[in-house]
Structure 1
């Protein structure tokens, strides 16, 4: 299913970094298509869950780096947080691999934390979900009005 994730994600980035895209981190443009693939593969609700899981995985990585303790890596922590290993389907593989790629690309940016991208992506999914629920509610109300008028 196709969602307008890119538009909503870009709006979240503008809320975070300002309207002038020239002032955004260089990786923002590169990460956006990867994150859109996650939503296209899994849908908004599951995409939101995965972006939150990616935030947790990144936090685990940064904690282990800070503590200089053993680091199993982003992929392991993401797998654990999402339970991807329990439900290996094509959409799950697509989401998992693209999140790993987005993470790798975003980690090359020194001026911003990759968590910002995952947070903005989660917000975009949340807003998309709210908009979708509102449209469904409007459709249901319209059907009810038509049914009442037909009686």
Structure 2
């Protein structure tokens, strides 16, 4: 796309000036210094183009799969559902009380809210995560969930 635009911006004026016999005038114009306002406009247009390309790229990357939250024991778990038998449970659980993802330290997960006492020891995390996966699998099968 960019190459097509560049060829169009450069090739078309050269072709027209060659056909009309004004190729020397075109080259003289190209050799003259560019006005400051034209440089600023070019930079702004390039910035807008890059911004729009990034936004378009991010919109394609957003998950087309549904996300559901399940409460298992004392924690909430985020599950991305690809199908009845195909889903993924986030490794980090969410505090039920404050609806915040737990933060991991060297030995345990804790709620970032300063008033919360909720802790999940790293040694227990695997068991809770496995229980959550089993529970979510059962719920999806029970409801015969379709994407």
TM-score by length of 2: 0.26
Structure with greater helix share of residues: 1
Structure with greater strand share of residues: 2
Determine which structure has more spread, i.e. the larger CA radius of gyration. 2
Identify the structure with bigger relative contact order (alpha carbons < 8 Å, sequence gap 6+).
1
TM-score by length of 1: 0.26
